[in-house]
Amino acid sequence: MAIPVSLLTVENVRKAAAIWRRESGYGRFGNGQRYEVKVGRALYPVKAIAAIALKLAGHPPLTPDDFPSRKNGTLHNAFEKLGFTIHDMGEQNRELPEPCPITVAGLLEIITGLGADIVITKNKKHQSESNFRIDASNPNQWLDGNWTGLPVQIEPDEAFVLHWVVHKSLVCIGCYRGTIPAATGGNCLILDKAHFYFITDIKGNSGAHETLRGILKQNGPVTYSYFRPMADSTPKGTPEQRFRIAQARLEQPAFHRAVMAHYGNRCVVSKCTTADLLDAAHLPGRDWRKGHNKASDGIALRVDLHRALDRKLIKLDKDHQLIWVSPSLNGLYDEYLFTARRAKRA
């Protein structure tokens, strides 16, 4: 049947959204399978909102069977002419970005090093994965869940959200920007500047494993748990300065991967290729706290050489060749000096 879209009004659409929040499943309508309409800050099933709004306008009640199963361009256009946005869930629920591999110890270092409160959410079911999705109003943000209640004692812009996809060993950490209501009556947490990690060694019995499990698997309600840093671990500075430092810390695993890929997983000085002995070292004058976290900001160095560079016990030239070693090292790295190598080639 033809849907009388001319009867739709802004006022009735907004009232319909309020009714759906109170009575999700109204008239046997379900959540949108492909398209949703954005009313206010939340997303709602297109057909359900249209049916409720038309009933408010005096039209006889409509059922899901009255609407075509395919995309209804006329209905979508009517909503858009009233100033509402139609969102394609097929684009929203695209695959997550490729996660950065990280060890349990590395993830624990990030969590404890953020120096800010973290609200933790968990997903243990494949069928719930679509509840973690792109924000229709801002493609740079993610929406987490359809949760009952709101996080407590957590301030937007001063805290982080950690979403753990348990069955995939995936973790997403982003700045907490507040919440928006979900169409089904729950709440979605807003994550900004999100970073995705794949935990490579989730099964283990080390001290780091026990500590991380204690953070992620807390007793109590399923909805939210929290990690609050020790008072003496909170970085100094304004909230904005602390957030910039924390954000830069989240970028370190990606920085490490980019540097290693750029240098072929080989130390530029010793030519060592043993992954466990290599660091992504920031070049002199580059600082991760200031966001210098591109591949061009660092080099691959063996762990001991990285420490020596940071302590100014060695110097490299612009081509990353070793040109000076502190006498205090008693010739430890002389074999790697550029002059020694040139003489050896001669």
Q: Dig out the tokens for 54 from the structure.
A: 């038309």
User: How far apart, in whole angstroms, are the C-alpha atoms of residue 87 and residue 144?
Assistant: 17
Task: Supply the mean pLDDT for the chain.
Answer: 86
Q: What percent of the chain has pLDDT over 90?
A: 51
Mean of pLDDT values over 289-313: 92
Which of 55-69, 196-210, 327-341 has the highest average model confidence (pLDDT)? 196-210
Among residues 17, 45, 16, which one has the least CA distance to residue 33? 45
Please tell me whether residue 219 adopts helix, strand or coil conformation: coil
Residue 316 CB partners (closer than 8 Å, separation 6+)? 268, 269, 299, 309, 322, 323
Q: Which amino acid is at 107?
A: L
The 10s digit of each residue's pLDDT in 235-274 is 566 656 666 777 777 888 889 989 999 999 999 999 999 9
Per DSSP, 308 falls in state H
Among residues 100, 101, 274, 109, which one has the least CA distance to residue 207? 109
User: How far apart, in whole angstroms, are the C-alpha atoms of residue 137 and residue 265?
Assistant: 40
Q: What is the domain partition of the chain in residue ranges?
A: 5-92, 100-249, 251-345
Confidence grade of residue 58 (pLDDT, cut at 50, 70, 90): very high
Question: Is the pLDDT assigned to residue 140 strictly greater than 90?
Answer: no
- pLDDT in the model for residue 222: 66
Mean of pLDDT values over 272-298: 90
Question: Is the pLDDT assigned to residue 87 strictly greater than 80?
Answer: no
Mean of pLDDT values over 6-33: 85
Question: Per DSSP, what are the bridge partners of residue 192?
Answer: 141, 175
Q: Which amino acid is at 164?
A: W
User: How far apart, in whole angstroms, are the C-alpha atoms of residue 116 and residue 244?
Assistant: 12
What totals of helices (H) and strands (E) does the chain contain, helices first? 10, 15
| Integer-rounded Cα radius of gyration of the chain | 27
- pLDDT in the model for residue 342: 56
Q: Which amino acid is at 6?
A: S
